[in-house]
Amino acid sequence: MQTHFDRELAQLKETLLTMSSHATSAVANAVKALVDRDDDLARKVIESDRVLDTIEMEIDEMCIHLLSKAPLASDLRLITVAMKCSQHLERVGDEATTIARRSIELSQEPQLKPYVDIPRMASMAMDMMNEGLAAFVNRNSERARAVIPRDKDVDALNKQLHRELASYMVEKPSTITRCLNLMVISKSLERVADHATNIAEEVVYLFEAKDIRHTGKGLNTPPPDSGAPAAN
């Protein structure tokens, strides 16, 4: 029989997933606003950031309430991981806002180049985010570990784009403002991937009770056997 505490934990998980959906939609819409030169959509992304801020505060309140009930170790991990993940998701929303603001600035000038790398980076980063949250829902730490090495691909694409844009600025100084805006957008997407990586590491901690942050351990480190402690 499900207890009141169990129902509150389930509600916490559901709220976190709702927040994740808002965050990934914000990034997708911000990049779409850039590609389509749609200032109205960009402004909607900026306005929607308040929703993520509100949900983050709601999750914090839920977690503090649950912590007051002296939960088991597995439940304690879930609650603390939920708080950390909500912070990462709120920052993803901040990055979406940055992208949206820069897209408005870019729409005031002729488009510098076809947008290929930026939508690709966005897709890669959001796929990482979705995989991390899917690992959370499906209680699959191995799936979370598989997300972590993918951050290097996004980093490489970000560096490649920065090199290309730096060359534009040297060859055509008139493009400097546009190049700088695109560099900021690229860096924002790289940070989204970083937050996705952090969420994946938190999922590993949740289901393996093992902290792999700052260790460089991801896919190459096998998870413990099925007897490892897991969150409810």
Predicted confidence (pLDDT) at residue 70 exceeds the cutoff of 80: no
Which whole-number Å values give the CA distances from 232 to 7, 29, 177, 198, 223, in the listed order? 11, 34, 50, 21, 18
Q: Looking at 95-104, 116-125, 183-192, 212-221, which range is the least confident one?
A: 212-221
Predicted confidence (pLDDT) at residue 227 exceeds the cutoff of 90: no
For residues 158 and 189, the answer to whether their CB atoms sit within 8 Å is: yes
The pLDDT value recorded for residue 228 is 41
Name the pTM for this structure.
Answer: 0.88
Q: 218: closest CA among 208, 228, 229?
A: 208
Mean pLDDT, the chain, integer: 90
Q: 207: closest CA among 163, 157, 143?
A: 143
The pLDDT value recorded for residue 6 is 86
Compute and round to an integer the Cα radius of gyration of the chain: 19
For residues 131 and 22, the answer to whether their CB atoms sit within 8 Å is: no
Residue whose structure tokens are 């929607």:
48
Q: Which long-range contacts (CB under 8 A, 24 or more apart) does 73-79 make?
A: 73/209, 73/229, 74/229, 74/230, 74/231, 74/232, 75/5, 75/9, 75/231, 75/232, 77/205, 77/206, 77/209, 77/231, 78/9, 78/12, 78/13, 78/206, 78/231, 78/232, 79/9, 79/12
For residues 45 and 96, the answer to whether their CB atoms sit within 8 Å is: yes
- The domains of the chain, with CATH numbers, are 4-208 (1.20.58.220)
The pLDDT value recorded for residue 214 is 67
Alpha helices, DSSP H only, in the chain?
4-36, 39-67, 73-106, 117-137, 141-147, 151-171, 176-208
Residue whose structure tokens are 């009141």:
4
